[in-house]
């Protein structure tokens, strides 16, 4: 089975969030679990470390674009543990950020076309083209019409994975024509409330759909969480599955982590204390290892529940806990974090910006409690990383957070974290207080930590489920 995974980001080449982690881990997991010939195709960005690239394997890939032929080159790498092809189109991708430009739709439509052109040049028809998020909507739409007249793609099937339904890739429909999307059926698939919407085209035309947890698969079929596309997801629900993301335990492993001050495991947690002291030092906080550290790492957007954090922060500090946050995004939340630090410099550690991998690992290893009070969360990875590092997650029961975190039950000694349901600062605080009470009883806390550390969220099971979907879609 040959699968080409198209993505806008993948570790170790480029990352802004969880999609990068997932796309970086899945091809390797597929190859290990089921001998699937999986490869990655992504853009070559300015931020990509050139040392990861092995060779330029194509220097003249022709891409039809706006009535002319553009030439791009393609780089090859195995740094993700599987073949990866990086499309070098500097006009669109040699920029400081991955996303956030007025021509994003053109950038990823171009990338999608180049990716299909590349597959053709490589010469072995893919069984499945597996796209991710709105950026791959263009590839799905293009393949859908192309396989009718291009024998190379005649048997190729498509799977589109939704990592976040809120990001849809809307643009002015008058761009569709010159970008080459001229067929009536294709244009209709893009059309949504007066705009052209790349995600909608993908959801409409893909042979199969998946998203990153079971709970989120159900949630996006409701009006409240459907972002205007719930009707389409209900219509195609027979084709939609929820597959919970895994954790790459080669990368997120407290026993071997190259970024942390010490190593530890479920059998010997002593190194965690050293990691905590190291974390406090890094943030210039007093070395008081008995005081709990409440931490948070996320994009600073409303999705992540920052409004609740803002309302609850004062009360959390009143408990005497340290508060450490890493994040980049909306200015209002960045300002809030800075002002919290100014208010309580000996209790609060803040890093505003995208810090890359080391600091994220150091926080996971050194913290005691990890907050994820998300409004919605398709899957969420940090709660699973936290559990592996003996850091107890406090989460809102939504999407993948609900699927992966089990509320601690004192009487039975079961559960690996704390969950609250209502989206309110009081509910968040209720769970934080509960966690802190347990923290004060070392034996109880140890039980919760071990329950989390022993949970198996590895990629193997998820990879097997993807193979089932690929197999089913191949028969369509």
- Residues in contact with ligand ADP by CB under 6 A are 17-19, 21, 297-299, 326-328, 354-356, 360, 379-382
- Can you tell me the distance from the alpha carbon of 170 to that of 377, in angstroms, rounded to the nearest whole number? 21
299 binds, among ligand ADP, ligand GLC, none (CB under 5 to 8 A by kind): ligand ADP
| Helices then strands, each counted (H, E), the chain | 18, 18
Q: Smallest distance, Å, CB 148 to ligand ADP?
A: 35
Contact (Cβ atoms closer than 8 angstroms) between residue 303 and residue 333 = no
126 binds, among ligand ADP, ligand GLC, none (CB under 5 to 8 A by kind): none
The DSSP-derived string for 371-424 is EE--S--SS-SHHHHHHHTT-EEEEES-HHHHHH--B-BTTTTB-SBEEE-SSS
Q: Is 210 in the site for ligand GLC (CB under 6 A)?
A: no
Q: Using CB under 6 A, pick the residue from 6, 89, 212, 233 that binds ligand GLC.
A: 212
Q: How many CB atoms neighbour CB 59 within 10 A?
A: 11
Q: Smallest distance, Å, CB 401 to ligand ADP?
A: 9
297 binds, among ligand GLC, ligand ADP, none (CB under 5 to 8 A by kind): ligand ADP
The DSSP-derived string for 215-232 is HHHHHTTSTTTSTT-HHH
Q: Is 164 in the site for ligand GLC (CB under 6 A)?
A: yes
Structural tokens at position 144: 């859908």
Q: Smallest distance, Å, CB 377 to ligand ADP?
A: 7
Strands 240-242 and 191-192: unpaired
428 binds, among ligand GLC, ligand ADP, none (CB under 5 to 8 A by kind): none
- Can you tell me the distance from the alpha carbon of 76 to that of 89, in angstroms, rounded to the nearest whole number? 14
Q: Is 116 in the site for ligand GLC (CB under 6 A)?
A: no
Number of residues that bind ligand GLC (CB under 6 A): 14
Phi-psi region of 252 (alpha: psi -120 to 50; beta: other; left: phi over 0): beta
292 binds, among ligand GLC, ligand ADP, none (CB under 5 to 8 A by kind): none
Structural tokens at position 1: 């089975």
Burial 188-226 (b: 16+ CB within 10 A, else e): ebbbbeeebbbbbbbbbbbbbbbbbbbbbbbbbbeeebb
329 binds, among ligand GLC, ligand ADP, none (CB under 5 to 8 A by kind): none
Where in 35-64 is the site for ligand GLC (CB under 6 A)?
none
Q: According to DSSP H, which parts of 244-397 are helical?
A: 270-282, 306-318, 331-343, 357-366, 382-388
Where in 385-424 is the site for ligand GLC (CB under 6 A)?
400
Residue 152 backbone dihedrals phi, psi, to 5 degrees: -60, -40
Specify the residue, 326 or 432, whose C-beta has the smaller distance to ligand ADP.
326
Q: Is 202 in the site for ligand GLC (CB under 6 A)?
A: no
Q: Closest-CB residue for ligand GLC?
A: 18
212 binds, among ligand GLC, ligand ADP, none (CB under 5 to 8 A by kind): ligand GLC
Specify the residue, 400 or 452, whose C-beta has the smaller distance to ligand GLC.
400
Where in 363-382 is the site for ligand GLC (CB under 6 A)?
377-381
Nearest to 64 by CA among 149, 147, 142: 142
Q: Closest-CB residue for ligand ADP?
A: 18
Q: According to DSSP H, which parts of 126-178 are helical?
A: 137-146, 175-178
Q: Using CB under 6 A, pick the residue from 3, 19, 189, 448 that binds ligand GLC.
A: 19
List residues near ligand GLC by CB under 6 A: 17-19, 22, 163-164, 212, 245, 377-381, 400
């Amino acid at each position: 089975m040959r699968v080409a995974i198209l993505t806008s980001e993948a570790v170790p080449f480029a990352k802004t969030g969880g999609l990068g982690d997932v796309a970086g881990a899945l091809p390797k997991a597929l190859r290990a679990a089921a001998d699937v010939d999986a490869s990655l195709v992504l853009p070559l960005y300015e931020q990509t470390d050139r040392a990861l690239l092995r060779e330029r394997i194509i220097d003249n890939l022709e891409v039809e674009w706006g009535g002319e032929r553009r030439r791009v080159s393609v780089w090859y790498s195995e740094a993700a543990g599987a073949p990866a092809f990086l499309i070098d189109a500097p006009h669109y991708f040699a920029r400081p950020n991955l996303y956030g430009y007025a021509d994003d739709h053109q950038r990823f439509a171009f990338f999608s076309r180049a990716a299909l052109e590349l597959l053709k040049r490589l010469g072995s028809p893919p069984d499945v083209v597996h796209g991710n998020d709105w950026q791959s909507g263009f590839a799905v739409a293009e393949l859908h019409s192309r396989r009718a007249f291009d024998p190379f793609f005649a048997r190729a099937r498509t799977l589109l994975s939704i990592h976040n339904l809120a990001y849809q890739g809307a643009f002015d429909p008058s761009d569709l024509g010159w970008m080459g999307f001229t067929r009536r059926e294709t244009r209709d698939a893009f059309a949504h409330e007066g705009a052209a919407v790349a995600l909608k085209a993908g959801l409409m035309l893909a042979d199969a759909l998946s998203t990153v947890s079971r709970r989120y698969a159900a949630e996006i079929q409701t009006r409240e969480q459907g972002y205007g596309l719930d009707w389409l997801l209900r219509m195609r629900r027979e084709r939609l599955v929820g597959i919970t993301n895994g954790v790459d335990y080669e990368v997120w492993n407290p026993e071997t982590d190259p970024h942390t001050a010490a190593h530890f495991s479920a059998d010997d947690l002593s190194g965690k204390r050293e990691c905590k002291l190291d974390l406090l030092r890094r943030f210039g906080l007093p070395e008081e290892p008995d005081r709990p550290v409440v931490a948070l790492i996320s994009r600073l957007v409303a999705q992540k529940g920052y409004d609740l954090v803002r309302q609850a922060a004062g009360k959390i500090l009143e408990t005497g806990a340290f508060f450490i946050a890493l994040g980049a995004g909306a200015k209002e939340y960045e300002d809030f974090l800075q002002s919290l630090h100014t208010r309580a410099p000996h209790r609060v550690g803040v890093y505003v910006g995208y810090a890359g991998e080391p600091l994220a690992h150091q926080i996971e290893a050194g913290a005691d409690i990890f907050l994820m009070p998300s409004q919605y969360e398709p899957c969420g990875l940090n709660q699973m990383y936290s559990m592996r590092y003996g850091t107890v997650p406090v989460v809102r029961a939504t999407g993948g957070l609900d699927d992966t975190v089990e509320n601690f039950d004192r009487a039975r000694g079961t559960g690996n974290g704390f969950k609250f349901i209502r989206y309110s600062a009081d509910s968040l605080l209720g769970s934080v207080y509960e966690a802190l009470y347990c923290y004060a009883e070392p034996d109880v806390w140890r039980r919760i930590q071990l329950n989390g550390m022993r949970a198996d969220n590895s990629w193997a099971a998820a990879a097997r489920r993807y193979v089932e979907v690929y197999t089913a879609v191949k028969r369509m």
